[in-house]
Each structure stands twice: as structure tokens, then as C-alpha cells.
Chain A
Amino acid sequence: MAMEITGDELGKWESQLRKGGLGLAVLATLWSGRLYGLEILRRLEADAGMSVQEGTIYPLLSRLKADGLVDAEWVQAEAGHPRKYYVLTPSGRRRLKDMAASWTSFAGGLDRLLTPLKGDPA
């Protein structure tokens, strides 16, 4: 029996997909240099169209720091209050490269599989 995927199920699947890719996305925002929390969120939204619930970003950064992939330091900002900047550690850079290679290979394979669907009305 054919099963229709409901909007709700599609939403859940999308949310799982984003959750899985979020660690990679956050590490990728730090590739070119150090950023603070709100900058990371804005970069995710502007460059990847990823809207992240703001309260979840700091626990994630704390996890990446505990895993030794990023480092953090407080800097007195021009804005008048201190900001916590995050930067990739050497092991974070290596991990990001490995994750990016896995992602590219996975997404490329899936894309080839999905080619026949493109331009084919359902």
C-alpha cells in the first residue's frame, strides 16, 4: 500500500536533516576566521538559509569546544561589552575538512540518484 508523506512528517525529516548538518555548518562558518555567537547565527542564515533557534547555538558551541574542535576567548568589544569569540583549533580544521569531504561525496551520490526526478512531474 502506498503511503503519502504528510507535511508534518516532511517537517520532522527536514528538522532531523538540519540537525545532522548543523555541527558541520557551524564549523564551516569559522573556516575564514573567528566569530562570536550572533555572527555565527547571522552567517548561517545569510549564507546557508539555515534559521537556527538562538538558544541552541551556545550549547552546540560548548559541545564543539568540549570536543576540542573550537577554542573560545573573551574579547572586550568596541560595542562596550565583552564578546566570546570562537575559532577553529587545528584538530577542528582537520575534522571540518574530513566532514566536508564526506558531505560532498554523500550529497553528490544522492544528487545523481535524484537526477531522474528533476523536471519529471509527480
Chain B
Amino acid sequence: MSPDAGLAHLDVYLDQVRRNLRGLSEADTAETIAELRSHVLDKVEGDPSPAKVEAAIDALGSPREVARLNLAERTVARMDADRSLLAVPRAIGRLATLSLYGFFAFMVSLIGYAFGAALMLTAVAKPFAPRHVGLWKMPGAPDDFTYTLGVISDAPPAHELLGWWIIPIGLFVGALTLWLTWRFGVFSVRLMAGRRGR
């Protein structure tokens, strides 16, 4: 087996890492890949035979794991520089496909932001369509109720619970939900980068 086969194997490995780094800027990706390549070439000490390259790659970790560590670290560094309401979900989205926890954090964030935004929009819409916006308690099966929140074109003939109170309650609970989801996002990104408590 020739050194070329070893280098080709290294290229395949680095290509797999690169594919898992999607979401990172081109410059950050190129820097990460160049450093990993340099590491493996140092490790094989001038003998890039397939066996030596394989051993060096094994010591680094699987492409997915190496990508996850690098992506999480660079994502958290960028998030620390910009912790806006948009930067944190963007960071969560970037890490969503790299681990089970990443996917869980993404789903919780999605639901949290959607619920928070729905509450706030409902509160804002109330003055414009007072009879169509509210929180209705609708009778279902005997001794059972369902709750409907939001803007309904044909307001149901059911008990609307909050009246004008939906404005302060919607704004407060909506903002609190958005804030808690944002905090959870910051915590999750730091957790995935192994930086909890720093």
C-alpha cells in the first residue's frame, strides 16, 4: 500500500468532518480542516501509510464527534459575542443534527419561541379585533373541556376567559416564555460545548 492511499484515506476522513461542519463559516471550516490535517501529518511522522493514518484518525475520533466538538466550540464563542434573541436559536439550529440532545434542545426552543410569540401576537391583536381574539373554554366530551387561544374568525359560542386581561397576561407570559426559551438555548449551547458553569 502506498503513502498515496494513506493520504487519500485522510482526505475522505476530512471530507466527512467538513460535511458535518455545515453551518460554520467557510473560513472557520477551512481553518479546522487544515489543523486536523496538520495534526494527522505530524502524528504519522513522515510515514503516511494507510495503517499509520488510520491509527492517527482513530485517536482523533469519529468525523461526527470531531465535527460536533469543533462546531459546538466555535458556535458558543460566536454566541458569547452575540447573545441576541436571534443569535441563540441560530446556534441551536446549527447544533441540532449533531446529537440527540441537540435535537431535543432544538425542539424545545422551537415550541418555546412559537408559544411565546403566539401569546404576544394574540395580546397585540386584541385591540384590533376584540371579539375574535381571546382564550376560549370550549365544551367537549362530558366533563371535559378544550382551551383555544388566538385569533378565530368565527368566535365560538363559548365562554371567553380573559377579556381585556389577555393583553397584559399575553404580553407578560409571552415575554417570559421567550426569555426562558432564550436562557435554555444559552444553557444548552454551552452544555453541548462542555462549557457549563464557565
Q: Which A residues are within 8 Å of any B CB, using their own CB?
A: 19, 36-38, 53-56, 58-60, 62-63, 66, 74, 79-84
Contact with A along B29-46 (1 / 0, CB 8 A): 000101111110111001
Q: Is the CB of B38 within 8 A of A81?
A: yes
Q: What is the CA–CA distance of A30 and B195 in the complex, to the nearest angstrom?
A: 22
**A36–B42 touching, CB < 8 Å:** yes
Docked Cα-Cα span, A56 to B42, in Å, equals 17
17 other contacts beyond A19-B194, A59-B69, A79-B46, with CB at 8 A cut-off?
A37-B35, A38-B39, A38-B43, A55-B60, A55-B61, A58-B32, A58-B36, A59-B72, A59-B193, A62-B70, A63-B73, A66-B77, A66-B80, A80-B41, A82-B34, A82-B38, A83-B38
- Chain B contacts of A59 at CB under 8 A? 69-70, 72-74, 193
Q: Is the CB of A62 within 8 A of B38?
A: no
In the docked arrangement, what's the CA distance between A74 and B30, Å? 13
**A56 and B69: CB pair below 8 A?**
yes
Among residues of B, the one whose C-beta sits closest to the C-beta of A62 is B73
Contact check: which of A53, A54, A62, A79 meets B41 at CB < 8 Å? A79
Bound complex: CA A54 to CA B43 (Å): 11
B positions within 8 Å CB-CB of A? 32, 34-39, 41-43, 46, 59-61, 65-66, 69-70, 72-74, 76-77, 80, 193-195
In the complex, A80 Cα to B73 Cα: how many Å?
29
Q: How far is the CA of A53 from the CA of B58 in the complex (A)?
A: 10
Closest 9 CB pairs of A and B: A59-B73, A55-B61, A66-B77, A38-B42, A59-B69, A55-B66, A55-B60, A81-B41, A54-B59
- Can you give 22 contacting A-B residue pairs, CB < 8 Å? A19-B194, A38-B39, A38-B43, A53-B61, A54-B60, A58-B36, A58-B69, A58-B70, A59-B69, A59-B70, A62-B77, A63-B76, A63-B77, A63-B195, A66-B77, A66-B80, A79-B46, A80-B41, A82-B38, A83-B38, A84-B34, A84-B35
**B70 cross-chain contacts in A, Cβ below 8 A:** 58-59, 62
CB nearest neighbor in A for B39: A37
A63 to B60, CA, bound (A): 18
B69 touches A54 (CB 8 A): no
Q: A65 CB to closest chain B CB, in angstroms?
A: 9
Instruction: Give the shortest distance, in Å, between A78 (CB) and chain B (any CB).
Output: 10
- Chain A residues with CB under 8 A of B194: 19
Given A37-B35, A55-B66, A84-B35, do A79 and B73 touch, yes or no (CB 8 Å)? Answer: no
